[in-house]
Amino acid sequence: MDHSKAPEASSPTAPTAVTESPTSLQLEAEKPNSSSRNDVAERFDWASDPSNPVNFSMTRKWAICIMKSWLTLCVSFASSVYSAAIFVTAETFYVSDVVMILGVSLYVLGYAFGIAVDILNPATRRLSTILFLGNVLSSGLSLRNRILVGDGRHIVTGPSLVLAYFVIPETYQPVLQKRNVRKRLNSKEAADKELANPQHQRLTFRDFMSKYMKTPMHMLVVEPILAILTVYLSLVYGILYLTLEAFPISFQVERRWSAGVASLPFLGLLAGFVIACLLLVYSPPIMQLLRIQKRGPEDQLIPMMLGAILLPVGLFWFSGTSSPHLNAAPQIISTVPIGIGILLIFAPGLGYIIETYLLLANAALSANSFLRSLFGFAFPLFAPAMYRNLGTPWATRLLGFLTVALMPFPFLFRLRHEGAREQPGDAPRRKP
């Protein structure tokens, strides 16, 4: 949805947009909403119409956000809990672990082809992003229980889908505008005639590829900020799903713990996620207390800078205490900074992308989601071979070195925010 049309974008809490000459990507981003400038849209004043999702009450917006966040948790729970039965199922069906891991990898690959609609203003978007990323917490719920792996998914997701049918409405603007016109004209034929323009024609495969694939991939090439953050977030996302395979190898195979006990270290990740959520929620007052100057989108980078330090610290800590001859307590504790680091990088990183590329936020997120899902698809596949050939210490250190290589970028973006966002590129940006 085009955020430049949202009434809330003019609130005092949101930085104002800098007037720029139209670019090819900007014009393309505005095409889906150009129907608001035709006679019908002007006559019915779509921008202030109650059926416009941007004009929903804050209560309804949060109900939709919470419901979608819960559904996201259910979806990710289904993928993470599946990993709990990989080794057992592989033995039952006499197949390799890699074949069974495909169930997780292909599931995550499907995330690459989703789209999102934003109905919240900048003041509440950060909190909603944290809530929406509750799906990350589900990886800590990967208990080794066959009931959870099978019937548990149906028990959780079945009632949720029924409830979502009544809570989540249609939010796609062209569809809602067409319904609005039909209702006001009391005639389907008259409405179809009024709206008979290319903007309301059925979306073709060519249009889909141009809008949802070409523009995001083009941005990924020409926008250095988006490219670097996408690689960083993709690596972190891959590490998250890699832990679903690495933890069982380290605790169940190497330490020879039972399946149920070997799942307990995931609670360390869960504790880290909870701590990170609290830090993100209270980051504005903490910044005010520390007298940190506000710089618009770059404020998102402050918790990300902390996460960029904690994640490699946790990974090197995990690798150094992974020997089965050592007490397991230090290794389990190391999963807490890993969890904090993952979420403190992931949530602010997405928020920074949204607030940097306002008009093309959906395209930027699509590019990020596509590459991120490819990492989530690939990492679990090579995890067993990597951890068995290199051993847990060096396999985890390798991941730590990769996160160290990317660690400076949040600091550089924060220190050089003006210059970084003025580099050549087509995408329109909002400056503080």
pLDDT for the residue 57: 86
pLDDT for the residue 14: 37
Is 36 part of any domain?
no
Is 190 part of any domain?
no
C-beta of residue 409 within 8 angstroms of C-beta of residue 228: yes
Question: 131-150: per-residue pLDDT in tens?
Answer: 555 454 444 444 444 444 44
C-beta of residue 352 within 8 angstroms of C-beta of residue 420: no
Question: 112-121: per-residue pLDDT in tens?
Answer: 666 555 556 6
**């068995």: which residue's tokens?**
388
Is 294 part of any domain?
yes
Nearest to 274 by CA among 376, 369, 342: 342
- For residue 372, the Cα-to-chain-centroid distance in whole angstroms is 9
Nearest to 197 by CA among 55, 37, 399: 37
* Residues spanned by the domain of 385: 56-171+203-420
Q: Tell me the two tokens of residue 422.
A: 């003025």
Give me the count of residues in the chain. Answer: 432
C-beta of residue 78 within 8 angstroms of C-beta of residue 153: yes
Q: How confident is the model at residue 12 (pLDDT cuts 50, 70, 90)?
A: very low
Is 329 part of any domain?
yes
Question: What would the DSSP string read from start to end of 105-172?
Answer: HHHHHGGGG------S-HHHHHHHHHHHGGGGGGGGG----HHIIIIIHHHHHHHHHHHHHHH-----
pLDDT for the residue 156: 64
Mean pLDDT of 211-233: 88
80 has pLDDT over 70:
no
Mean pLDDT of 410-424: 67
Question: 393-408: per-residue pLDDT in tens?
Answer: 999 999 999 999 999 9
- pTM across the whole model: 0.70
Beta strand extents in 201-343 (DSSP E only) = none
- Say how far apart CA 219 and CA 210 lie, in whole Å: 13
Question: Across all residues in the chain, what is the average pLDDT?
Answer: 74
pLDDT for the residue 365: 85
- Say how far apart CA 278 and CA 166 lie, in whole Å: 30
- Say how far apart CA 130 and CA 309 lie, in whole Å: 20
Lowest mean pLDDT among 211-220, 262-271, 274-283, 289-298: 289-298
Find the CATH number of the domain harbouring 258.
1.20.1250.20
Is 191 part of any domain?
no
Is 166 part of any domain?
yes
Is 8 part of any domain?
no
Mean pLDDT of 335-359: 89
Is 406 part of any domain?
yes
Counted domains in the chain: 1
pLDDT for the residue 293: 73
- Say how far apart CA 112 and CA 367 lie, in whole Å: 9
pLDDT for the residue 162: 82
pLDDT for the residue 369: 86
Is the pLDDT higher at 92 or at 156? 92
**């209702």: which residue's tokens?**
183
432 has pLDDT over 60:
no
